[in-house]
């Protein structure tokens, strides 16, 4: 272990040089890894991030002079700012922060745990009153351990971790969880298709291990079971939640033969838009030939007349800020789990099959 020099006030904070010495690399390497510009080298990156955790290093050393100052900011950390879902949640955070007289800081991670750690550390040192993490995750033991460390470190600094659209961690973790009902929304939209007479419903966007698509697949399967329809794994297609993936999944499916489905449940509206393009290129009309539904109710869904599940994106962000600031004032330090509802927006992308009412 690296022994840090002490001052009259106790042990001094770790520096980037301490991290470099502890990891056995150069200061420049540490700087590039924390900024996300270092070439792919998992072993080196792992050593540096382990040193960051063990030394409790905070990237923004200049902010240390703010210690003890009153905070005026809330922070939101997202995977990407170009995703419509994240953008709308961030807008809700910004709106509520302004109402509370707070500034809003936005950070991005591109889905990397190392970048996430460095950004959380930065927000902690900036004394953000709450740090809101948004995004689909793999809910494994490593993730839960990492979130627990974040929550406790932020709580020790007088801040509040908020997991927005992510699963709860348990009662012993001082984190606030704000979710929306993915499973219920998927159940409702699948039931809508089943009630219209569709029995062969293709699900696009399964990703085993990931929380958001996992919850939506669960709702889809639950609805099939309640309508006494057999579960056919061949009707679930793996893919990311991107427009290009929706196009790819449908195109590959149709290239293998005539459609063996009458309806498509796209895992989100972006997938639905790509799937719609591929269907049209194959000469299939929505909803005349194939019915199509999505999830999220992004503004683009109205443009293509898509039946979808409405997600309260901005309410999610506003609720996260409001409850986090309330929780910080009462200093309870307890975990809390809030679930927001979802509902169907019916447009003109589903055609009832003949005899559906029988």
CATH number, domain at 10? 1.10.260.40
* pLDDT level of residue 39 (50, 70, 90 thresholds): low
Cis peptide, bond prior to residue 287, ω within 30 of zero? yes
Which of 27, 57, 87 is the endpoint of a domain? 57
Pair 327, 298 in one domain: no
- 293 and 325 together in one domain: no
**Would 42 be classed as within a structural domain?**
yes
Q: Are residues 299 and 189 in the same domain?
A: yes
> What pLDDT, on a 0 to 100 scale, did the predictor assign at position 335?
62
Quote the pLDDT of residue 289.
97
Weakest mean pLDDT among 8-17, 95-104, 222-231? 8-17
Region of 52 please: left (phi>0), alpha (psi -120 to 50) or beta. Answer: alpha
Work out how many domains the chain is built from and give that number: 3
Residue 224 belongs to domain spanning: 183-311
* CATH number of the domain where residue 208 is located: 3.40.50.2300
Q: Are 63 and 126 in contact (CB under 8 A)?
A: yes
| 326 phi-psi bin (left φ>0, alpha ψ -120 to 50, beta other) | alpha
Q: Please check whether residues 226 and 160 belong to one and the same domain.
A: no
| Pair (194, 159) in one structural domain | no
Same domain, 174 and 217: no
Tokens linked to 251: 């195109």
Q: Quick check: 235 pLDDT over 90?
A: yes
In a domain, 279, yes or no: yes
* Per-residue pLDDT tens over the stretch 310-343: 999 999 999 999 999 988 766 555 568 899 999 9
pTM for the full model?
Answer: 0.78
Does residue 172 sit in the same domain as residue 228? no
Task: Based on the fold, state whether residues 110 and 169 are members of the same structural domain.
Answer: yes
Residues 249 and 152 in one domain: no
């Amino acid at each position: 272990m690296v022994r840090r020099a002490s001052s009259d006030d106790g042990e001094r904070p770790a520096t980037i040089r301490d991290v470099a010495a502890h990891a056995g690399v150069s200061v420049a390497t540490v700087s590039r890894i924390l900024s996300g510009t270092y070439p792919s080298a998992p072993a080196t990156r792992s050593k540096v991030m382990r040193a960051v955790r063990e030394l409790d290093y905070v990237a923004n050393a200049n902010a240390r002079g703010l210690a003890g100052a009153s905070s005026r900011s809330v922070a939101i950390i997202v995977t990407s700012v170009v995703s419509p879902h994240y953008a709308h949640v961030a807008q809700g955070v910004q709106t509520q922060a302004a109402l509370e007289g707070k500034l809003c800081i936005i950070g991005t991670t591109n889905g990397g745990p190392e970048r996430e750690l460095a950004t959380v550390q930065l927000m902690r040192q900036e004394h953000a009153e709450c740090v809101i993490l948004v995004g689909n995750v793999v809910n494994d033991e490593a993730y839960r351990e990492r979130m627990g460390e974040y929550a406790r470190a932020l709580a020790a600094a007088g801040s509040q971790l908020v997991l927005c659209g992510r699963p709860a961690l348990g009662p012993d973790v001082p984190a606030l969880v704000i979710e929306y009902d993915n499973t219920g929304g998927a159940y409702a939209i699948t039931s809508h298709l089943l009630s219209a007479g569709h029995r062969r419903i293709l699900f696009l966007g399964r990703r085993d291990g990931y929380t958001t698509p996992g919850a939506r697949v669960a709702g889809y399967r639950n609805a099939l079971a309640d309508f006494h329809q057999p579960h056919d794994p061949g009707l679930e297609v793996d893919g990311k939640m991107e427009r290009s993936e929706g196009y790819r999944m449908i195109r590959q499916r149709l290239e293998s033969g005539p459609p063996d489905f009458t309806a498509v449940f796209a895992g989100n509206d972006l997938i639905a838009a790509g799937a719609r393009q591929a269907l049209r290129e194959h000469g299939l009309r929505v909803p005349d030939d194939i019915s199509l539904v999505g999830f999220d109710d992004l503004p683009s869904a109205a443009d293509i007349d898509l039946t979808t599940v409405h997600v309260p994106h901005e309410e999610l962000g506003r609720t996260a800020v409001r409850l986090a600031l309330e929780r910080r004032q009462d200093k309870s330090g307890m975990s809390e789990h809030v679930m927001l509802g979802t509902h169907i927006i019916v447009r003109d992308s589903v055609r009832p099959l003949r005899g559906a009412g029988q």
